[in-house]
Structures are given as C-alpha cells and as structure tokens.
C-alpha cells in the first residue's frame, strides 16, 4: 500500500523520479528491426507483424465509411451527445491558440511571419483496454483547427473490431482516414509510407513503450509531439482537504498503469493517515484494483512537509503532469507554481474534468518535462516561416553592418553576396 514519508526521504523520491528511466536495449533493437522491415517491405511487413503481435490476420487496413456509420448505430444517443459536447468544449478552448501572422513594415524593409499548417499528420490511438475516444478528440481537434490538410489515424486491430466510440469520435473530430495498424510497425508506416498508408509529416498520440521508442526513431525523419512516459498526478493538500476525494483522485491516476505515479503532498500528518485509510477502503471496489495497488506500492507516496512553501518547492522539483491544488485558497499559491502540465484548482475540479470534458488538452508532458514542455495544442500542428524584403535603399544603408558581421565570422562569400550588389550598381 502507499507509503507516508517525510519530505527528506530522498531515496523514495528518487525511485519515483527514475521509474521511466529503465534500460530497454532489447526493445530498442526490436523496434529498430521493425522500422527497417516496414521501410523496405511496406504492407507485407505490416501484415506479418500484425499477425505476430496482434494475432489478427488482415486483408485490408483501411476502415470503410460503412464501418464508421455502423459505429454510430452501436452507441447510445447520450454517449454520442457527450462526445459532441466534449468536442465543442475543446474547440472553444483551442481556437484561442490559433496564431495570427504579423508584419513589421517600414517603407524600405518588410519583416513578416507566415503561419502555415503541417500538411499531413498521423495520429496514433491505442487499442484494446486503453482505447479512449477522448484521446482521439484531444489530438484531432487542435490539428483540424490548425488547418492540417490530411489527418490520418492508426489504431491497433482488435479481434472483435475497432471500438465504436473511437470511430465515432474520429468522424466527429474531422479525421480523414483510419487504418487498423498499431505498434512500432504503425509508426514506421506513418514515417516511411507504404503501398496503403501515406507518409506523414508529423506523428502525434500516446502509446506503449514500443510506440514511444518507434517515435524516437522516427524523430528527425518526421516531427513528433513528445515521448510520453507513464502517467502521473500530484495533489497538494492542506489540513482542510477531504481525504476521500484525494484517495479517489490518486486511484484514478494509478489505474492507468503499474508504472503510474500518484503522490499527495500535505502539511497535515492527520490528513496523511486519513488518506491512507480511505485508499484501503476504496481500492477494494475498483475493477482495476491490482494495477492500482502495484502502482501505489511502487510509485505512490503521501509526503508530509513542514510548510506549504516546502510543499510548493517539491511540486516544482517533481514538475508533475497533473497537479491538483486541494487547498482552501488555491489561487493564493498559483503564482508560485512554476512547472506543471495541467493544474486543477479546488476540491471540485478533479483531474478527470480535464481528461474528458472541460476543453483543455489531456496530452501533457510527463517525467518532469513540464519544466520545458507544454500540453498538446494548435501550435503543435503549425509551421512558422520568416518573410523578408529589402529595397535597394535599405540594402545600401545596412550593407556595411552586414559585411562587417559576415567577415568577423569568416564567411566572406556571405559578405560578397551583399558587396557584389553594391558594386554592380556602381558600374
């Protein structure tokens, strides 16, 4: 069960921080081989690996319009409406991220920034027990708002068919094509292209360790969003916090994965004990209790600190993916939080609000990368291009500075490209 520790227990904190830093050399080698096989053999390799890894024999990878229409028939009207409402909330939030081009204009000089969408994006969506329609929406909505020309979704094939809610979410979110291919072989297909699956310019979406390492291999050949590690939550709580709520929130994150991390930092030893007691009671009611128990035992902790300032310092060190401020006055401390993927204010804003419905994105930086990374957004699906125009007068005025700087760097041909224009005009 989860441990109660003091802030100075560095060994426990270090084990939590290092949970995703294992050596995966064997996995690396396998993924490298898969990438090369798909690159050279195309669809043939995809069919072979799908049979080997998914135990599914495919004759066609593309989902038809008929299959998508059938998915709508399989879902309740209420669930379809929930997906539509979540979509609208995501649009309302993410459309504010759409950047505008700008121009800094003088009479003889023009500086401008052009904004263009990425042309083709591949979106990986996990299958099986981790098949979440919310993940489809979170990745597709920012892409469509950015103006991506072709959005291609891949998801692992299932023996009983693709989950209907995934297909419905994809259709509602504007996905153009869906293919039933998963794993490292799916990432390879998007990276190199095959006879059936087009090559893309960027790949987004979460997956298991094979998918994550394949995205690392692909990076540079195509763009990627991030290499996501195991999920995590950190709850910062004062003595007035409700232990039942906190226990429920810790379990909610722990059920994702045995490597998931669920931590509470509190100034109250009494609250720490109550949270542990609540966990022991609530956990037995959870269908995924075995996963929750292993996650909490290995990577969970209730950390008791002497002051809220110490707690906030620890939050900034851990830089969590999800941060809940279960505090009487959370806004009072918000300005002191430097690093977090998403912040949830107050005891009536549990993390699932953001996961499913509020409109913010749930594709978030993990493993302390919130120190420098941001949630997935429209900006991940655009490119910015610089535009520069000088008149002859402007070049004459700035030429001496340009030439001196170029020659200082030993790049005399650069300087010459400016000088030759001045000399030719003087002839």
Instruction: Please compute the mean of the pLDDT values over residues 383-405 and round it to a whole number.
Output: 96
Position 20 confidence tier, pLDDT thresholds 50, 70, 90: low
Handedness of CA 210, 213, 215, 220 (dihedral sign): negative
Is the pLDDT reported for residue 426 higher than 70? no
Mean pLDDT over each residue of the chain, to the nearest integer: 94
Looking at residue 228, its pLDDT comes to 83
Superfamily of domain 25-224: Nitrogenase molybdenum iron protein domain (3.40.50.1980)
Handedness of CA 159, 160, 162, 166 (dihedral sign): negative
Looking at residue 424, its pLDDT comes to 72
Position 6 confidence tier, pLDDT thresholds 50, 70, 90: confident
Instruction: Please compute the mean of the pLDDT values over residues 306-322 and round it to a whole number.
Output: 95
- The two three-digit tokens of residue 415, written as one number: 């300087």
Instruction: Please compute the mean of the pLDDT values over residues 112-139 and round it to a whole number.
Output: 93
User: Can you tell me the distance from the alpha carbon of 42 to that of 198, in angstroms, rounded to the nearest whole number?
Assistant: 11
Give me the DSSP letters along 252-295.
HHHTT-TT-EEEEEES-HHHHHHHHHHHHHHGGG-TTHHHHHHH
Asked if residue 236 lies in contact with residue 193, where contact means CB atoms within 8 angstroms, the answer is no
- The two three-digit tokens of residue 64, written as one number: 């038809």
Looking at residue 14, its pLDDT comes to 78
Position 26 confidence tier, pLDDT thresholds 50, 70, 90: confident
Instruction: Please compute the mean of the pLDDT values over residues 20-24 and round it to a whole number.
Output: 58
pLDDT in tens, 237-263: 999 999 999 999 999 999 998 989 999
118 bridge partner residues: none
- The two three-digit tokens of residue 107, written as one number: 């009479």
Looking at residue 18, its pLDDT comes to 74
Superfamily of domain 3-19+229-359: Nitrogenase molybdenum iron protein domain (3.40.50.1980)
- Sheet containing 109-117: order of strands: 102-105, 109-117, 382-390
Position 425 confidence tier, pLDDT thresholds 50, 70, 90: low
- Helix/strand/coil (H, E, C) string of 143-156? HHHHCCCEEEEECC
31: left (phi over 0), alpha (psi -120 to 50) or beta: alpha
- The two three-digit tokens of residue 183, written as one number: 């794993």
- The two three-digit tokens of residue 307, written as one number: 């002051």
* Ranges assigned E (strand) in 170-326: 177-179, 202-204, 223-224, 232-237, 261-266, 300-304, 322-326
Looking at residue 280, its pLDDT comes to 96
Looking at residue 427, its pLDDT comes to 60
Q: What are the residue ranges of CATH 3.40.50.1980 in the chain? A: 3-19+229-359, 25-224
- The two three-digit tokens of residue 343, written as one number: 């912040």
Is the pLDDT reported for residue 7 higher than 80? no
Helix (H, G, I), strand (E, B) or coil at 203: strand
Instruction: Please compute the mean of the pLDDT values over residues 391-414 and round it to a whole number.
Output: 97
User: Can you tell me the distance from the alpha carbon of 126 to that of 155, in angstroms, rounded to the nearest whole number?
Assistant: 6
Least confident span in 10-24, 146-160, 175-189: 10-24
Helix (H, G, I), strand (E, B) or coil at 186: helix
Looking at residue 16, its pLDDT comes to 75
Looking at residue 13, its pLDDT comes to 75
Is the pLDDT reported for residue 306 higher than 90? yes
Is the pLDDT reported for residue 22 higher than 60? no
| Phi and psi torsions of 265, nearest 5° | -115, 125
Is the pLDDT reported for residue 287 higher than 90? yes
Q: Which residues participate in catalysis according to the annotation? A: 321-322
pLDDT in tens, 161-213: 999 999 999 999 999 999 999 999 999 999 999 999 999 999 999 998 899 99
- The two three-digit tokens of residue 247, written as one number: 């226990």
Looking at residue 203, its pLDDT comes to 98
Is the pLDDT reported for residue 420 higher than 80? yes
- The two three-digit tokens of residue 181, written as one number: 């291919």
Position 51 confidence tier, pLDDT thresholds 50, 70, 90: very high
Looking at residue 312, its pLDDT comes to 96
- H-type alpha helices, 325-411: 330-334, 351-356, 392-408
pLDDT in tens, 33-42: 999 999 999 9
Is the pLDDT reported for residue 355 higher than 60? yes
Above pLDDT 90, what percent of the chain? 88
- The two three-digit tokens of residue 162, written as one number: 């693709």
Looking at residue 23, its pLDDT comes to 56
Position 10 confidence tier, pLDDT thresholds 50, 70, 90: confident
Is the pLDDT reported for residue 233 higher than 70? yes
Position 11 confidence tier, pLDDT thresholds 50, 70, 90: confident
Nearest CA to 357 among 170, 134, 180, 197? 134
Handedness of CA 189, 195, 198, 200 (dihedral sign): positive
CA dihedral 259, 263, 269, 271 (to 10 degrees): -110
Nearest CA to 233 among 201, 261, 191? 261
């Amino acid at each position: 069960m989860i441990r109660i520790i003091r802030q100075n227990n560095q060994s426990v904190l270090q084990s939590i921080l290092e949970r995703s830093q294992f050596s995966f050399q064997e996995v690396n080698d396998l993924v490298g081989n898969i990438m090369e096989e798909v690159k050279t053999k195309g669809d043939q390799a995809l069919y072979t690996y799908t049979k080997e890894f998914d135990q599914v024999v495919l004759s066609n990878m593309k989902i038809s319009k008929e299959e998508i229409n059938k998915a709508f028939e399989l879902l309740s009207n209420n669930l379809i409406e929930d997906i539509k409402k979540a979509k609208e909330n995501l649009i309302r939030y993410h459309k504010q991220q759409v950047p505008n081009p700008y121009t800094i204009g003088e009479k003889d000089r023009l500086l401008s920034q052009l904004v263009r969408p990425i042309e083709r994006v591949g979106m990986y969506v996990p299958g099986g027990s981790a098949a979440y329609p919310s993940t489809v929406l979170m990745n597709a909505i920012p892409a469509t708002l950015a103006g991506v020309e072709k959005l291609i979704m891949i998801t692992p094939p299932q023996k009983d068919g693709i989950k209907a809610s995934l297909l419905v979410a994809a259709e509602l979110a504007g996905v153009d094509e869906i293919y039933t291919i998963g794993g490292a072989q799916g990432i390879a297909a998007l990276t190199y292209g095959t006879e059936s699956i087009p090559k893309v310019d960027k790949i987004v979406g979460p997956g298991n360790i094979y998918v994550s390492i394949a995205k690392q291999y692909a990076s540079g050949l195509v763009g990627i969003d991030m290499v996501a590690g195991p999920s995590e939550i950190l709850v910062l709580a004062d003595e007035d916090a409700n232990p039942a709520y906190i226990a429920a929130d810790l379990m909610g994150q722990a059920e994702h994965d045995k490597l998931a991390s669920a931590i509470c930092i509190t100034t109250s030893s009494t609250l720490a004990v109550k949270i542990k007691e609540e966990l022991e009671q609530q956990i037995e009611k959870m269908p995924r209790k075995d996963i929750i128990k292993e996650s909490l035992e290995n990577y969970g902790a209730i950390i008791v600190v002497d002051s809220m300032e110490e707690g906030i310092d620890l939050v900034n060190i851990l830089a969590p993916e999800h941060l809940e401020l279960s505090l009487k006055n959370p806004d009072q401390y918000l300005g002191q939080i430097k690093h977090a993927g998403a912040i949830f204010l107050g005891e009536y804003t549990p993390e699932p609000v953001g996961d499913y419905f509020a409109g913010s994105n749930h594709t978030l930086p993990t493993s302390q990368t919130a120190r420098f990374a941001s949630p997935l957004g429209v900006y991940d699906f655009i490119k910015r291009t610089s535009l520069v125009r000088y008149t002859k007068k402007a070049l004459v005025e700035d030429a001496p500075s340009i030439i001196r700087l170029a020659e200082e760097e030993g790049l005399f041909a650069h300087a010459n490209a400016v000088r030759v224009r001045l000399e030719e005009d003087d002839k």
